[in-house]
Structures are given as structure tokens and as C-alpha cells.
Structure 1
Amino acid sequence: MEQSTTLDIEALKMTQEQYMLASQSLHLQPPGCGAGGVHPVGLYGWRKRCFYFFLLLLLVIMIVNLALTVWIIKVMNFTVDGMGTLRLNEEGIRLEGISEFLLPLYMKEIRSRGDSPLVLRSEKNVTVNARNSQGQLTGQLTVGLESVEAHCQKLEIHSKEGRLLFSASEEEVSIKTQKLTVTGSEGAVFSHSVETPLILASGASEDLKLESPTRTLTMEAPRGVELSSTRGGLKASGRKDLHFESTEGEILLDASTIRLGSLPLGMYSASKVQASHRQTVFEVCVCPSGKLYLSPAESRSTCQDVSNICLWS
């Protein structure tokens, strides 16, 4: 009897303990959870290891990225004023050293430092273009491997002081220097007329030669043409005719001795050869056509309009 009572008491205690545990579990269960029981929250196992691995990899990438950024800044020499050899200032952009441009460069002005020249280099050619406000090409300068070409309405070259030295346009080419020197062995060749106030030899010991091998050499001036040689002789020769003409003035031959060689002898005598041997003095006669000839000098003039020289001239 006592044993059954003891078993009932123990069963009652176990029932009470189960009821208390069930009540505690009901109170500890978070809101919103179903009746399925408590689920643990967190990363466990291989998920936890992968998470820490990705955190470590992200940290390594950030460190490498920061190191590369610092290295690029160091190598490219980034500063507040610019980068590398490029500097930005109030006047514009300044490049130091050699710079390479792969695309067209648009600038208002390009200049070098005061102590160094400006050098433009290219494997093919260097082309400088000028355009108007509408974008149309108005001028072009091309420096190539074999030639230098300029396309413009007028080309001008000025001195350091701003004085015009050379200008070329479609109408004329003008050289306004004090002296133009041609040092070629063949001299200067002109296909058409040349206008100049003075022609001099290149040096004091050099000869000046004006020659037209196949055509006519003509020298004209509104106030006269002067041919002079201060130190040597002056020679004018032609294959056919040599003309000295003055339309309004005179032709002046001013010298201590004037020689006219190979003038023909005009006379009627049949023994012209014998008379020329006996005659030592002659006078210079002029035909109406202007031809000169010699006539034996006597007490009176022997020049005749009907001389055989004048008749055949």
C-alpha cells in the first residue's frame, strides 16, 4: 500500500515538472514562431568559413587597389597643378619635354620657352591648318619628307623688326631685301621679265654676265639704262644685231678712247685695196640708215650718201 502511494506521488511530481517545463517553453518562445520548435540563428560550419574567406579576399583587394593608386600617382607625378610634364597655369597649358598627340590638337597659340626652340616632329609630315568661323580651310602649311607646301592667298616673310622681306601671291612675287644673292653655278634663270633697280656681281673679283642664249636680251628703263664697270671692262656682244636706242635723248659713250673695230671701207675706186694701203687716216661716216663705215680722210669730207656701203645696207 505504501509502495503504490509512493509511486503516485512520484508520478504527480513528474507531471508537475513536465507542466512547468512546458509552461517555461511557451513563455520563452519568441513571437511569430510556430509550434514547430526553436531554430538556432547564426553562421555555422562551411558557411562561416566562406564568409570569413570573402572578407579576407575583399580586404586584400582593397589593399592592392590602394597600393596601385598610390603607385600611379607616384609614377604619373600627379600634383595640384597637373600631371607629369603637363602643368596648368593662368596662361594655359605648359608641357615640358617630349609630348605625343594621337589626335588633332586645337590651340590658339603654341610657343616654346625663351631658352629653347620649338620642335615639331612627325614620321610622315607636319600639317598646320587655319580655318575661319564657319570651319572652312583658309590656309595650310605642310612640311613633308621631300617638300614644304603652303596653300594660302598670300605668303609673307618678315624680319625680326617686322619689315617685309618676301611676299608671294597669285598676282606677283616681291622680294624687298637690300641684296639678293644667287650662288648657283648656272646663275638665275628667268622665263619672263625681271624688274630691279640694280644688278651687281656677287663679289669684287667676279664678273657679271647677262645672257640670253636663244632669245633676245632687252633692257629698258623710263629714265635710262646705265652700264658701268668700275674696275674692269664692259663688253656687249650679240650673234646678230646689237641695238642702242634712245627715243627722246642721246646715247653717250664717255671714255678716253673709243674704238670701233671692223668697220667697212666705203669708196668708189676700183683699186680699193691699194688705196687702203696708202691711206692711213680715215673718217667715220654714217649712212641714212645709221650704219657706220670708213672713208679716206682728205681736206674735205669724203662721206657720200651714195656710197656702196649705204646702198647695200
Structure 2
Amino acid sequence: MTREQYILATQHNLERPENQQVYQVGIYGWRKRCLYFFVLLLMVTMIINLALTIWILKVMKFSVNGMGNLKITNKGIRLEGKSEFLLPLYVKEVHSRKDSPLMLQSDRNVTVNARNNLGHITGQLTVGSNAVEAQCRRFEVKTEDGKKVLFSADENEIAIGVDKLRVTGPEGAVFEQSVETPHIRAESAQELKLESPTRTLTLEAPKGVHISAAEGELKATCRRELELQSTDGEIFLNAKSIRLGNIPQGLASSSSTSSSNLHQTVYEVCVCPSGKLFLSPASMGSTCQSSSSICLRI
């Protein structure tokens, strides 16, 4: 293109027709005012949101180490003061500070569950207002060092591993079934009483039963019959004096009743064929045969 052609073309492009309209680019009028209003409303909202965020951070005591009483440490999460949990809490270990106890409190009850890999409950401890319940396969109470089991319970048996079991209730201990123990002893200066109010009381041992009262009396009382039985041995009574009270007394002859009652002081012990004992007035010979009519009495 020559220079003249370029000048002519430029002049031709600069010429505007008289009827050509000019359009202004931008937002004017009520649209502009609405835009400014929304921008101002957005700024106010952002300022209020920022102020509320700062207020929440201040009230909740957010910091680099945690939030309020909740502190994040290298060993885990540390809570100071009282904390309230509205939903279940899943943790691996819970322990208190060295100088303060750990207290779990609830308006209804406190339940601690142990689950397996499938989520099934394998152990449960519930502390309620009426009772403390433990649900597990085996319950154990050990000593401080954890080497000796003091108490254990499962479906088959209950074992008490202490050296001495003390029952301080006034009614003592009540057992509905049999009790197996090598030694039963009362507290010092206290009485030992074995009682069955409505049923029989049986003491059995494969090598013998030893009953001893070193400093006191030994009493055996029952409402009906008291039976001492030895199948392969003998019953040996060894004491400074042996007394049999309330033994019925027989009379040798009815004619000498008045005289014998006034002067008789010595009697002999007689035995009926049934084993019943009775007294007969002693004489030069045995009078058991003459007083044997007492054996017929019921």
C-alpha cells in the first residue's frame, strides 16, 4: 500500500455519519444504587460476622493449645475443671491429675462399656441410683500390686482369697445351699453360732469334724431329736463331769414310793432296748428290770 492510499483510508475511517448513535457503557440509575446498597450490606454482614467470630473466640477461650478447659498436649487431650458430654465418649484411656481424684457424675447413671472388634459389648459396669451392676464373664478384685485375687466370681463359682472373711451384720451370714470351708471361727470375745431355724443342720467331713471351745461353753440345741451317730467308730465323751439332765425317773416298787422319794439320793442309769435312758433307785442289786415299765411310755 502506497502512502497516499494509506492517508485516504485513514481519513475515510475517521469520518462519522451524522445519524450514528453513541451507546454509553456502565451501570447508571437505580441499578447503580441497588449495587451500592448490596455492596454496603455485604460489608456490614462481614463486619458483624467478624465481630461475632472474635467474640466466640474470646468467650470460648480459643488459643494455640486448645479451647478453654480443653488443652491439646503431646500425650492427648487434657480437661481442667468440670466437663459435660451429651453424646457417647470413645477414648482409650481416662485418668486424672496426680493431685486430684477422677469423678464421673450423671443425673441418672454412669455406664462403662467394653466392646470387641465387632462392636459387641463384652463387659459393662453400671453405677445407678439403686444398684451397681457389673456384666462380664469373670469379675475379679485384686490386691494393690495385682498379684493376689481377693474376690472373683463367674458362672460356676465365687472365690474369696482373703485370709479372713468378716461378717459384721447382727443376723450373720445366710446360705441357702451348702457351704464348703476348712475352718469356721468367731471373732475374739464373740460367740460362734450355727443355726438352721426351719431345717436341719448337717456337718460333714471325710476325715472328721472337730468342734472346739477353748475358753467357753459348747451348746447343741434343737426342737426335736439330737442324734449323734458313728457308723464305724465310737462316741467318746471326755470331761471332768458329764451330766444328763431331765432323765425320767423310774420306781423300783410302788409300795416303797413314799420312803424312797424322801431318802433316795443314789440312782443308777438304765437303758431301754430302744436306747432311751432312765434312772432307777440304786440298791444292793440292779433295779433296772423292776423299773423297765418306763420304757413302754411314749
Question: Same fold per TM (> 0.5)?
Answer: yes
Corresponding residue for 2:3?
A: none
Matched, 1:27 2:50: no
Corresponding residue for 1:83?
A: 67
Matched, 1:130 2:121: no
TM-score by length of 1: 0.73
Matched, 1:174 2:159: yes
Contact 1:127/1:141 (<8 A) preserved: yes
Which stretch of the first structure deviates more once superposed, 216-225 or 284-293? 284-293
Cα 1:234–1:62 change in 2 (3 A) is: same
| Distance (whole Å) between structure 1 residues aligned to residue 262 and residue 109 of structure 2 | 79
| Distance (whole Å) between structure 2 residues aligned to residue 25 and residue 171 of structure 1 | 115
Matched, 1:107 2:94: no
Corresponding residue for 1:4?
A: none
Gapped regions of structure 1 (runs ≥ 5): 1-22
Corresponding residue for 2:202?
A: 218
Q: Which has the larger radius of gyration?
A: 1
Corresponding residue for 2:170?
A: 185
Contact 2:139/2:153 (<8 A) preserved: yes
Q: What amino acid sits opposite 2:241 in the alignment?
A: T
Correspondence list, 1:227-266, <5 A = 227-265=211-249
Question: What count of residue pairs does the alignment treat as equivalent?
Answer: 287
Contact 2:151/2:160 (<8 A) preserved: yes
Aligned-residue Cα RMSD (Å) equals 3.7
| Distance (whole Å) between structure 2 residues aligned to residue 145 and residue 25 of structure 1 | 102
Cα 1:226–1:300 change in 2 (3 A) is: farther
Corresponding residue for 2:7?
A: none
SS of 1:227's partner is: coil
Percent of aligned pairs sharing the same letter: 59
Contact 1:267/1:307 (<8 A) preserved: no
Q: What amino acid sits opposite 2:165 in the alignment?
A: L
TM-score by length of 2: 0.76
Corresponding residue for 1:208?
A: 192
Corresponding residue for 1:8?
A: none
Q: What amino acid sits opposite 2:67 in the alignment?
A: M
Cα 1:259–1:43 change in 2 (3 A) is: same
**Corresponding residue to 1:65 among 49, 53, 67:** 49
Q: What amino acid sits opposite 1:184 in the alignment?
A: G
Corresponding residue for 1:149?
A: 133
Q: What amino acid sits opposite 2:161 in the alignment?
A: K
Corresponding residue for 1:280?
A: 265
Gapped regions of structure 2 (runs ≥ 5): 1-9
Matched, 1:164 2:149: yes
C-alpha distance after superposition, 1:195-223 (max 9, x if no partner): 2333334552x433222222111222233
SS of 2:200's partner is: coil
